[in-house]
Amino acid sequence: MTSSENPLLRTKNDHRLKAIPFPEIKTEHYLPAIQEALKTAREEIAALKANPAEPDFGNTILALELNAEQLDYVASIYFNLLSAESDAEFKALAQQISPLLAEFNSSVSTDPVIFARVKKVWEQEVANQPKPEVPEDYFDKKYLTKSERYRLVERVYKGFIRGGARLGEEDKAKLIQIAMEASQLSPKFSDNVLNATNAWELHVTDPRDVEGMPASVLAGAAHLAKVKGKDGGWLFNLQPSSMIPLLTYCRNRELRRQIQTAYSSRAYKDKFDNQDNIRRILELREQRAKLLGYKNHAEYVLEDRMAESLATATEFLEKIYAVAYPAAQKEVQEVLDFAHQTDGIYDFQPWDMSYYSNKLKEQRYAYDPEELRPWFKVENVLEGLFIVARKIYGISVKQVHDVPVWHPDVTTWEVFDRAGTYQGLMYMDLFPRETKRGGAWKTSFQGQGLFSDGMRRPQVAIVASLTPSTAEQPSLLRLDEVRTIFHEFGHALHSLLADGYYKGLSGTSVLWDFVELPSQIMENWLLEEEALNLFARHFQTGDPLPKELLDKVIAARNFQSGLANLNQLRYGMLDFAWHIVHPEDIDDVDAFEKRAVERFRVLPHIPGSNISCSFAHIFAGGYSAGYYSYKWAEALEADAWSLFQEKGIFNQEVADSFRKHILARGNAFHPMDLFVAFRGRKPDPDALLKRDGLLVTPA
């Protein structure tokens, strides 16, 4: 196959900056495209190394910034579809593609000739120069470009050191082998979780077994049963849109037990068991950390985060734990008492928690979250989200129908600023299918910034598994699903509103414990009356969301906030536990996990369950030794949001400042400097606890 015949290697010009020709791309195109793009990337690296000119920013740092554009393009398409739309044949390619990319990246970061050039530029432009301060205004693009240049040199130099550039040749070879093997294990782990999720179904035919479940949920389950060829009844699976309503509303304890147990034991002691993958991933991570001079993987990761050290991150989590744990204990006891009083439940189990928590919430606040669904038709939610974004940032989002997509469910949107200037392309892929992994995420096919052919705008995607429509009714979302869309759109805005020069510093290319700030702050508008009134309309009558219902939702916003915080702390501290232990000291994956999470336990352990074997965030994603980032960024977000609350949620001055200092700047400055530039001070350490009602400010 020639390059001109491979759609992944053929440039397609259009005003949306090379829209990807998804329908033309076949599985057999990927490996040849990767191999061809690797050849080009290596030739570029060879030319960089052979350049006789003295190293400078242009011929070294910028050359590295622009290296492997074609490779990045092909790889981004492959790995994005690996998560969003892939069959077994497509997934199998990862075992060939991943080590090829890992070997190339590691060979560059450990190359002594390239590092010598990078080091010389760093000595000239960073080592002996003062760190640029965040400017009062951003109209001086020349100043900004100079500041970004400083930051790019600093980040590239640090990246080479963290990539092993100062190691001896023998250790460099070990590091490359570690990277290649690790690159194969992550997709294996993810595949096992997806396969275990898809393998389980619950077919119910007796109407008595689904008593208590809302009609809209049963309609979706009946539709799924029909699609899967079942003979009537209702079909449930482990997708959140199916599992969560069953756990929340189904009166049948046995069915709740089955689905909770199945979800909690995915990829553990079954044919998709991830225990060996966990052990080997941890071994490789520790080997890399030790080679690079760190005590463990957690120390290696935290050194390049806002927190800067494991001690700082754990101290932050422990402070929340001291308040959240007793609050969570009290909240659980309230539910236990309620279950005993209402249904005589003495042997309370984890699969009872969602059911009785919802009943207690309904009694206490006189509303059921299911009541909100009619006001959250997915099309109305998107329209409302874009109206809210326009009021905040002055942008407009317009659907387009002539952009190729990877699946019929995918919609495409163009984003423009106040002046009508094109900001980027956004794909939205919102509903579950067996070829897509669970959860929700924002990803990029193209970043904003300088490419070899000039400046380009971003291409991003929001991927989720929300409640789908059926033949009988449209997609009506739960409140938490609407929150998911707002959250991921916040990530998308971080890329779409990026205004940097170098793509390596643009958009979400920030320190990992800062990246959740734009997404989490976007969630806040969802429960503001002023924002909801813009779009929450009943899908049949068009009536606005009743104020008395909204008031109940707002009144209940901190219901079980102790438990919510404790759950996130459990994940964060389990993550740290895995990444500070010596792998040879792990006697048993499940036994180790139980010890690590015991102090967070407020409900009995489910026999046969295991968190870690499906904990894809840390074993197949980018959050290893970084899951704490959700709480860290949430603390920043709570403090940032307080300024909107003080000045007005659509206050133009505050919104413009957040866009200018946070969304537009990416990684052009250290995130703490950017936060201070926006907020006028460093973060309030108690903002999160105050917002969640766990810390009462004295009168």
Tell me how crowded residue 138 is: count the other CB atoms within 10 A of its CB.
15
Residue 452 burial by Cβ neighbours in a 10 Å radius (0-12, 13-18, 19+): exposed
Rg (the chain; Cα; Å): 25
Residue that has been written with the tokens 């309230």 in this structure = 334
Locate 273 and state its tokens. 């068991």
Locate 162 and state its tokens. 């963290």
Give Cβ neighbours of residue 365 (< 8 Å, ≥ 6 apart).
552, 555, 556, 559
Mapped to the 3 state alphabet, what secondary structure does 441-502 carry?
A: EEEEEECCEEECCEEECCEEEEECCCCCCCCCCCCECCHHHHHHHHHHHHHHHHHHCCCCCC
Locate 339 and state its tokens. 């279950």
Strand order across the beta sheet in which 422-429 lies: 396-400, 411-416, 422-429, 459-463, 441-446
Distance in angstroms between the alpha carbons of the first and the last residue of the chain: 74
The CA-CA-CA angle for residues 18, 23, 29, to 5°, reads: 85
Residue that has been written with the tokens 């782990």 in this structure = 189
Q: Is 548 a catalytic residue?
A: no
Catalogue the E-assigned strands of 109-254. 201-204, 234-237
Under 8 Å between Cβ of 115 and 45: no
Residue tagged active-site, from 44, 125, 299, 488: 488
Nearest one of 475, 489, 247 to 373, comparing CA atoms: 475
Output phi, psi for 432, to 5 deg: -75, 155
Q: What SS3 state is found at 396? A: strand
Under 8 Å between Cβ of 553 and 370: no
- Share in percent of the chain as helix, strand, coil (round to 5): 60, 5, 35
Tell me how crowded residue 12 is: count the other CB atoms within 10 A of its CB.
12
Which residues are known catalytic residues?
488
